[in-house]
Chain A
């Protein structure tokens, strides 16, 4: 029996690993988005290596839109911290800023497309241009989905349903929004490097 006692001290059986299923689902969902863009990027690189590739300079407005999205992400984090501390006024302000900056980002991306058209880089034509539109468009589509998620948190925040004891919704929202921000940062650097 001695050994049994020893064993108990040595090894407690580990509790079955478990985290919040909804957050876990979100992370898996992000994996699928990552794979979507990874395949696009590899297609881009493979196609680019084959030559006959139109090179063009990225319009300046994409630099500014990147800044806007970064600020939006910072505001999101501010909103999350405020929710954690039950500072409802700041939460409302911060989450509204996030949402407005998100909309501004989308508008700037669209302006960027217009500038591309003015530069004679079209969606239909050399694949280098087509890929640029596909990358920004796909990302923009995900930003729209992010804005919808954000809207849920926004309305909940204004109904005072987001607070220190009910953080799940805003956590999921913040994770997704930061992810979309990082994703754009990556795409931006990628498109700058391999233009």
Chain B
């Protein structure tokens, strides 16, 4: 659509940029900036703000669930009319809170905040590029996201409340304004916001893929790419293929809502009167939605896994175990992600045979996931582990990934799903494996790359305290939640006080809520550490973790263009840690084999002959177009 024009203008702009390198005013430098590092920080800060809002919402509904008798009048200054005079949370607003928590955390925090931050920040720095392929598109991507954020945020203040049909917005609940107060203007804004969000993700994702494939520096072949870059590349491909499908399902929903078509609606009676819509199928929406929805899980998770690979290898001072197996397993996960969507729909009246096919495909995902799990553990095995906060969060991610993945094997069974679907068992499962694991990836990334982002260090002790409180808190919340789910608690219910079978679990629910509140409070340690360190943290050395990847060869505070002078060339993979014979326990990627004769393997000595050829190759330097 208009992206093509964007390309043309972007091209012009780039050429102009070279000539007016100095003349950057405040707006160009901090607001409509085309530097990938600034855009990454914009994504990170916006993501953190959304995370605070999204997690606060979960605390409010956890209080409602665990402490149903509590008086919430103290929230009146914020929530106003949503708290009744007797201090009770409005049931309709409870549904809105659950919906918005899901939407915000999945899309705005763990997709935009995670992928947006680290793909933008690390891709050019780790592949040795001056910037993204199109800085203009990259800038547009952030501002579309910002616009989507503003609209979503505005919908929180509607008098009828924001969208409340669940983050999966199944019709007819989302299609009919009569269905719920939130299905009117709230849902309209939700749809508008998500449409902009999709545009933002496509602009960003197309840029990531193009940059990784076309702008790598000399010698940076695909088998020398750090695993972070592999994971961002695969994530972007997943997004490119699945987000247009969400757009088309949303488009048909908009037609149903505003023009009266019947794609998803059929034979609906309201107060005894039939609606005019005939011939639609609500299941169709679920198929389209989950065709995005399932890959979305991996869009959220894969960047976290990539970050973990890098952080674990660096801080174990060992090469990553099974580099190629790691890539293959990510490709395998990405492929399988597209052919398992119907496991979200086992109980929609689907043909049981079809269900068993999807069950089979779903359970196969355990294989590449287990490969990743084992590779992380074998990388840690007998390493000289340095417990930096980033490392702790990476190990935490592996733990959460394994324990959350195990319950996935249970849920993937179409027979067991009859009992477990839409219970708290599902909630606990995906919060461990996708929510908490990806959030740990985000934390690991922030702690690890903070020195590169802001030129200062975060406080290690506070980071470690933050990790332990969060790690213990997460398990205290979600392990008991599995039991609540097995007991039959359905998700998205306002309260459980009126059923007999739920009574004996009230104390467990209270326990979960208190653990959730404590882990929420622990996040303020991180917030303080983060914002304090930006301004007052200890100054960072150039390579604080003794890491091999290219970003640590750039200046401590890289300017636009990342490297002063020539872009470094790459001669080896990024995992030469603790190589036998080497003087140091790490050899950065830009050190040629001819300088490390004491530690080379025989086949690496042979590669010395190719170094001249690598040096004479194309730079892919955008600032010196040939």
Contacts and interface: CB of A to CB of B under 8 A. Distances in A.
A127 B244 contact: no
A4 B284 contact: no
Interface stretch (A7-15, A69-77, A186-194): A7-15
A142 B251 CA distance: 15
Contact of B617 (A16, A32, A50, A123): A16
A47 interface: yes
Interface string B255-289: 10001111100000000000000111100100110
A33 to B, nearest CB: 7
Interface in A7-36: 7-8, 11-22, 24-26, 28-29, 31-33, 35-36
Place the interface of chain A in its size category. Answer: 35 or more
B163 to A, nearest CB: 22
Interface stretch (B4-12, B470-478, B544-552): B4-12
Contacts of B149: none
B259 A124 contact: yes
B264 to A, nearest CB: 9
A27 to B, nearest CB: 9
Q: Main secondary structure on chain B at its contact with chain A?
A: helix
Given A39-B288, A43-B252, A47-B284, A148 B2 contact: yes
A176 B215 CA distance: 23
Interface in A52-100: 52-53
Contacts of B620: 16, 18
Given A22-B11, A24-B210, A35-B241, A124 B280 contact: no
A149 B4 contact: yes
Interface stretch (B218-226, B364-372, B441-449, B505-513): B218-226
Interface stretch (B187-195, B352-360, B602-610): B602-610
A56 B213 CA distance: 47
Contacts of A19: 214
A81 to B, nearest CB: 22
Contact of A28 (B5, B206, B608, B618): B206
Interface string A123-143: 111110011001000100110
A34 to B, nearest CB: 8
A127 B5 contact: no
Contacts of B614: 13
A152 B605 CA distance: 53
B30 to A, nearest CB: 26
A94 B614 CA distance: 45
Interface in A36-53: 36, 38-40, 42-43, 46-47, 50, 52-53
Nearest to B209: A28
Contacts of B291: 39
B5 A149 contact: yes
A142 B214 contact: no
A11 B210 contact: no
A33 B11 contact: no
Contacts of B245: 35-36, 38-39
Contacts of B287: 42-43, 46
A174 B606 CA distance: 46
A29 B3 contact: yes
Contact of B281 (A4, A11, A50): A50
A14 B221 CA distance: 8
B589 to A, nearest CB: 14
A145 B5 CA distance: 9
Interface centre among A16, A21, A47, A152 (most CB of B within 10 A): A16
Contacts of A8: 609-610
A113 B607 CA distance: 65
B119 interface: no
B172 to A, nearest CB: 15
B504 to A, nearest CB: 44
A15 to B, nearest CB: 5
Nearest to A152: B8
A29 B241 contact: no
A84 B3 CA distance: 25
Interface in A142-162: 142, 145, 148-149, 152
Given A123-B261, A127-B262, A130-B255, A39 B244 contact: yes
15 contacts: A16-B221, A17-B214, A18-B215, A19-B214, A22-B11, A24-B210, A25-B210, A29-B4, A39-B249, A40-B248, A123-B261, A126-B262, A130-B262, A138-B251, A145-B2
Given A16-B617, A36-B245, A134-B252, 19 more contacts: A7-B610, A18-B213, A21-B133, A22-B10, A25-B133, A28-B240, A35-B240, A35-B241, A35-B242, A39-B244, A39-B288, A43-B252, A43-B288, A123-B261, A124-B262, A130-B255, A142-B1, A145-B2, A145-B4
Interface of B: 1-5, 7-8, 10-11, 133-134, 137, 202, 205-207, 209-211, 213-221, 240-245, 247-249, 251-252, 255, 259-263, 278-281, 284, 287-288, 291, 605-610, 613-614, 617-618, 620
Closest 6 CB pairs of A and B: A21-B133, A35-B244, A39-B245, A36-B244, A28-B206, A8-B609
